[in-house]
A and B are shown apart, each in its own frame.
Chain A
Amino acid sequence: MSTDLGLPRFAPRGVGHLRGERSFPAAARDALADSQLRRNLGHATSTIRAKRAAVVAERADWEELRAAGEAIKAATMARLDEHLERLEAEVTRRGGAVHWARDAEEANAIVTRLVAATGSREVVKVKSMATREIGLNEALAAAGVDTQETDLAELIVQLGGDLPSHILVPAIHRNRAEIREIFLREMPGVDPALTDEPRRLAMAARSYLRERFLRAEVAISGANFGVAETGSLLVVESEGNGRMCLTLPRTLITVMGIEKVVPSWADLEVFLQLLPRSSTGERMNPYTSVWTGVTPGDGPAEVHLVLLDNGRTATLADDVGRAALHCIKCSACLNVCPVYERTGGHAYGSVYPGPIGAVLSPQLTGVEDNASLPFASSLCGACYEVCPVRIDIPSLLVRLRAQHVEARREASRVPSAEAVAMAAAAWTMADPRRFAAAEKASRLGRVFGRRSGQLTTLPPPLSAWTAGRDAPRPPAETFREWWARERG
């Protein structure tokens, strides 16, 4: 075993889907202009929000459950190395093989090698964020392996040559008319009389996928949880496609982020209550599949577990920021986020969109590679309120903003215009005389134009405000002047 005493590495550039090509404000501008997208997202998120609220309200002990989830995750992260080694030992003892991947490139190479060793040229996939994060489909395609997504929404995204825009509902940006059109155009052997009735669309996908399930010899999955004490892996899903992939093919390869380990089965009692209510708004998800090593004559004969770091250890090194690793990928924060609801997931440029993505993506890549994301929030706090493991997302966003400002300070001896303005404002406001003088100065503008009413244009950067909103005209007398005159 080699000893690497360097700092933990961030997720590498040039591979996977953690970085966007454009900054959030630029990408958001286009998304905001898409009326179909706005309608689809508004409808879908409000529906899921209402479902979640109803099933969460059923639990009198919801806040206790959240606190328990947070505590279990915090304790697990504090001794993550021990739990991972236990998981490795137990998986190995039960006939599975464990592989450690430092980053996306290593993970893709391991999986590609494992698939090649089977001699198969096609794999079926269970919906998985980790494999999306590392760009596994693209890596396999480059090696001549055809991957088939089997989750209905992932299938829609794959056939449409699209990218997922939501953690749980990857095709949330599509409506059924668009899905019908994609199926008719891209799905081999589809019934030309297909309608946009949801049941008909699901049946078309079902018959298309069924053939692939029965033919496939290799399946690739992620994992919602890995239980260290028995080496068991879990996938939680709604459609049964996961169960097919996990039981039919001869070889099963699972890519799991190292933060997904839980110490014991008792811990699942908490998470399996929190997750479905928070994600799909169901009391319980339809399918929970668990597998523990290899069972001869039952399920896959070859079981691999690839443990993925890809910036997670770097995130763990921040004793406050590591709370983002507690995320169980329920996506409740996306569904309540007023920013996500209007821009959709693609604007974030990362496979992890929404509030948690605005924290997690810069943490995995290093904040400077995703510098606009921590600012893609009005800090309204709706995300924190619904998070099943109580991740204080607004505080983590503010923390990342500070890290970005510090990084900019270190990178350049010439301060940015914003830094100059902030320093000037802090200097002014640290002294009431200077502040009062500044208030007076701002009123000089009153000699120009009308004396009352609203300002309709301001110079940059405040012109971004007046592009869509009027601004108040400074009053003739500030409060402190009034007080001094009346009471002083």
Chain B
Amino acid sequence: MKIALFVTCLSDALFPEVGKAVVRLLERLGHEVAFPAEQTCCGQMHVNTGYRREALGLVRHHVETFEPYDAIVAPSGSCVGSVRHQHADVARAGGDGALAARAEAVAARTYELSELLVDVLHVEDVGAYYPHRVTYHPTCHSLRMLHVGDRPLRLLRNVRGMTLLELPGADQCCGFGGTFAVKNADTSTAMLADKMSHVLSTGAEAVSAGDSSCLMHIGGGLSRLRTGTRTVHLAEILASVE
């Protein structure tokens, strides 16, 4: 199957290892990965900060970039959530009904990584090996916008050598929330503090998630406090082999 990688602007610019991991993983599973080089950003930050008008051009660009592909994957529940739940609305609010219809069609073929693996490629054991103690934070948009449920955990439970530790209060937000982390930095940090104490209580070496943005937030806190606990994206674990 030929799959287009929507790497997301954040992973492209700051976490390239996540994109490389998705490529390695899908190719190992026998699929062809395309990287449409025209891609930039889904525009979620603009929409969520109130700049819907500015987001319209980004939505149009995204739709035009990914329209030729039958399956699109992103290593981010949040960006897929934006594609699926915001793009058509932004187009409609901008008075472009035709774009809204095209955006809906692209959204229907866009999958978060665990969705693609479990629902489309029908694989739960990707043959990964990761000899570490890991806890998993499910991330709000994967959980409540996409309803990925336990798909990531089903994938992780099949990883050889790994000890998966249950995270207390897992479904609570880490406090990132895009520009919320800056506009309401105090509240965001208070939420982060509780998330970190839950992570540390598990004794894990690393906390994993399906979103680089949440991991950047949690990881930024863990690093600041010199906790010695690191972050690792779901894709990086699944791409690892002996």
Interface residues of A (CB under 8 A from B): 24-25, 28-29, 32, 38, 338-339, 342-343, 374-382, 384-385, 398, 401-406, 418-419, 422-423, 425-426, 429-432, 435, 439, 442, 454, 456, 461-462, 464-465, 467-472, 474-475, 477-480, 482-484, 487-488
Contact = CB atoms under 8 A, between A and B. Distances in A.
A427 to B, nearest CB: 8
Interface in B19-68: 19-20, 35, 37-41, 43, 45-52, 54-55, 57-58, 61
Given A375-B180, A468-B192, A469-B221, A483 B9 contact: no
Interface residues of B, number: 65
Q: Which of B41, B50, B61, B191 has the most CB of A within 10 A?
A: B50
B144 A381 contact: yes
Interface of B: 7, 9, 11-17, 19-20, 35, 37-41, 43, 45-52, 54-55, 57-58, 61, 140-141, 143-145, 171-173, 175-192, 194, 216-217, 219-221, 223-224
Contacts of A475: 14-17
A342 B143 CA distance: 22
29 contacts: A338-B175, A339-B191, A342-B187, A342-B191, A378-B140, A379-B180, A380-B177, A381-B143, A398-B50, A402-B51, A405-B50, A419-B51, A422-B46, A423-B51, A429-B41, A431-B40, A454-B223, A462-B182, A464-B181, A468-B224, A469-B192, A470-B221, A471-B216, A472-B219, A475-B14, A479-B7, A482-B16, A483-B37, A484-B37
Contacts of B190: 32, 38, 342-343
Given A435-B41, A471-B220, A483-B35, A464 B175 contact: no
A454 to B, nearest CB: 5
B180 A435 contact: no
A393 to B, nearest CB: 12
Contact of A28 (B184, B192, B220): B184
A315 B182 CA distance: 29
Contact of A382 (B173, B185, B194): B173
Given A379-B178, A469-B224, A482 B50 contact: no
Q: Which of A28, A462, A464 has the most CB of B within 10 A?
A: A464
Nearest to A342: B190
A281 B180 CA distance: 30
Contacts of B50: 374, 398, 401-406
